[in-house]
Amino acid sequence: MTDKTVTVTTPIDRYGVMGDPVSHSRSPVIHRLFALHTQQSLQYELLPVPPEKLEIAVRQFQRTGGKGLNITVPHKTEVLRLVDQMSERAVTAGAVNTLSFKGGEIYGDNTDGIGLLRDLVVNLNISVEDANILILGAGGATRGIIAPLLEMQPKSLMIANRSLGKAEALAVHFSRLGPVSACRFNAVPVSTPYDLIINATSAGVKGEAPPYPIDAISDTTYCYDLSYGLSPTPFSVWAREAGARQSVMGWGMLVEQAAESFNLWRGVRPDTAPVLKQMSIPA
Ligand code: ATR
């Protein structure tokens, strides 16, 4: 009789980010660093998926044993129809950036808002409570951050947008959560100084320069761009030149939202500071 040893190998847990385009995404680097730092064994891939292939790609990822996905532009709203269960914050945001696959079901969550708040409050020490906040833009990115910002009880939250109707619709939708109002992009009231201006338009990404409201900035204003790049974004350059107290790009939010997703998947929240440092992110 021969003594046979059978080695059973457990397949490595698979994660990834689906978007279009997605080749520029830093998520694989961030999640691999998180895995390294928390001694987790996992694989994280870039998954370019055009809108018409989203459903097939998600189902196939699920069928082949994938554990979790980040969902990015332009799929964050479209993916809602594929989830079986959704967190309250994803319902409020009307968008999902994190999918978890468990027991044959797809669970959708949104970690963008908490990611922004952690960067503002914990990393940058910016006080949101009692602040006068101005958000530029009224698209999907704005929708995802209004509720978490209002939860921090700012004094006021003004949404300015090129098309007034979209800003007004958001203000009406979120008015039960706090003092939120809307105005046209070029008619921002400036009687009270803004403590925080957040750029949530996609103008810079498209190489466009809208008439940012210069009178809304003073030397006490923090400016935060949800966009980020290896060189300063047009908004962050404008804010610096306009004399803002501090002008920051959204690298911290990117890393913080990733840490929240990682926590949902792995049950451990990685330390974000060393990752932000290791990514050599420009100031
Ligand atoms: P996202 O999901 O990234 O928010 P979106 O839903 O397409 O993308 O929203 C883009 C936002 O950027 C909108 O508020 C848009 O303004 P409109 O609602 O008026 O279209 C804003 N935006 C894009 N390009 C702009 C530009 N050149 N000037 C001012 N606002 C711009």
Mean pLDDT value across residues 191-212: 89
Rounded to two decimals, the pTM is: 0.93
Whole-number Å distance, alpha carbon 167 to ligand 1 midpoint, is 11
Asked if the structure places residue 8 within a domain, the reply is no
Would you state the pLDDT for residue 3?
A: 61
Pocket test for ligand 1, best of 158, 185, 188, 201 (most atoms within 8 A of CB): 201
Q: What is the mean pLDDT of the chain?
A: 94
**Closest alpha carbon to 258 in 223, 237, 222, 228:** 228
Domain identity same for 106 and 117: no
**Residue 10: pLDDT band by 50, 70, 90 thresholds?**
confident
Domain identity same for 237 and 136: yes
Domain identity same for 126 and 38: no
**Residue 66: pLDDT band by 50, 70, 90 thresholds?**
very high
Asked if the structure places residue 267 within a domain, the reply is yes
CA distance 51 to 19: 8
Domain identity same for 148 and 102: no
Kindly report, residue by residue over 251-269, the tens digit of the pLDDT. Answer: 999 999 999 999 999 999 9
Domain identity same for 206 and 229: yes
**Residue 223: pLDDT band by 50, 70, 90 thresholds?**
very high
Whole-number Å distance, alpha carbon 210 to ligand 1 midpoint, is 10
Kindly report, residue by residue over 18-50, the tens digit of the pLDDT. Answer: 999 999 899 999 999 999 999 999 999 999 999
For residue 76, indicate whether it is catalytic: yes
Domain identity same for 140 and 223: yes
Kindly report, residue by residue over 184-196, the tens digit of the pLDDT. Answer: 988 999 988 899 9
Asked if the structure places residue 4 within a domain, the reply is no
Domain identity same for 49 and 168: no
Domain identity same for 132 and 247: yes
Whether the per-residue pLDDT at 101 is higher than 90: the answer is: yes
Task: Say if CB 57 and CB 111 are below 8 A apart.
Answer: no
Atom 12 of ligand 1: nearest residue by CA position:
201
Asked if the structure places residue 283 within a domain, the reply is no
> What stretch of H or E contains 277?
helix 273-278
Q: How many CA atoms lie within 13 A of 199 on its CB side?
A: 31
CA distance 213 to 238: 10
Atom 26 of ligand 1: nearest residue by CA position:
203
Would you state the pLDDT for residue 282?
A: 61
Whole-number Å distance, alpha carbon 185 to ligand 1 midpoint, is 11
Whether the per-residue pLDDT at 229 is higher than 90: the answer is: no
Would you state the pLDDT for residue 170?
A: 96
Atom 8 of ligand 1: nearest residue by CA position:
139
Would you state the pLDDT for residue 2?
A: 54
State the CATH number of the domain containing residue 163: 3.40.50.720
Would you state the pLDDT for residue 98?
A: 98
Burial of 10 (0-12, 13-18, 19+ CB in 10 A): exposed
Mean pLDDT value across residues 149-178: 97
Locate the ligand 1 atom nearest the alpha carbon of residue 73 and give its number: 2
Number of compact structural domains in the chain: 2
Domain identity same for 182 and 82: no
CB within 8 Å of 211: residues ≥ 6 apart: 185, 186
Partnered with residue 15 across adjacent β-strands are: 44, 68
Asked if the structure places residue 5 within a domain, the reply is no
Asked if the structure places residue 33 within a domain, the reply is yes
Partnered with residue 198 across adjacent β-strands are: 135, 224
Q: Which domain holds residue 258?
A: 13-111+253-273
Query: Ligand 1 in contact with 48 (CB < 6 A)?
Result: no
Lowest mean pLDDT among 167-171, 174-178, 209-213, 273-277: 209-213
Whole-number Å distance, alpha carbon 104 to ligand 1 midpoint, is 36
**Residue 281: pLDDT band by 50, 70, 90 thresholds?**
low
Q: In this structure, what token pair is assigned to residue 266?
A: 């792995």
Domain identity same for 226 and 142: yes
State the CATH number of the domain containing residue 62: 3.40.50.10860
Whole-number Å distance, alpha carbon 202 to ligand 1 midpoint, is 5
Query: Ligand 1 in contact with 141 (CB < 6 A)?
Result: yes
CA distance 44 to 13: 9
Q: In this structure, what token pair is assigned to residue 10?
A: 């457990």
Question: What is the maximum span of the chain, computed from C-alpha positions, in angstroms?
Answer: 90
Asked if the structure places residue 60 within a domain, the reply is yes
Asked if the structure places residue 172 within a domain, the reply is yes
Query: Ligand 1 in contact with 140 (CB < 6 A)?
Result: yes
pLDDT > 70 fraction of the chain, expressed in percent and rounded: 96
Query: Ligand 1 in contact with 139 (CB < 6 A)?
Result: yes
Domain identity same for 231 and 101: no
Catalytic residue chosen out of the listed positions 4, 67, 76, 155: 76
Domain identity same for 122 and 245: yes
Query: Ligand 1 in contact with 182 (CB < 6 A)?
Result: no
Residue 87 phi, psi (nearest 5): -70, 160
Lowest mean pLDDT among 90-99, 135-144, 208-217: 208-217
Whether the per-residue pLDDT at 200 is higher than 60: the answer is: yes
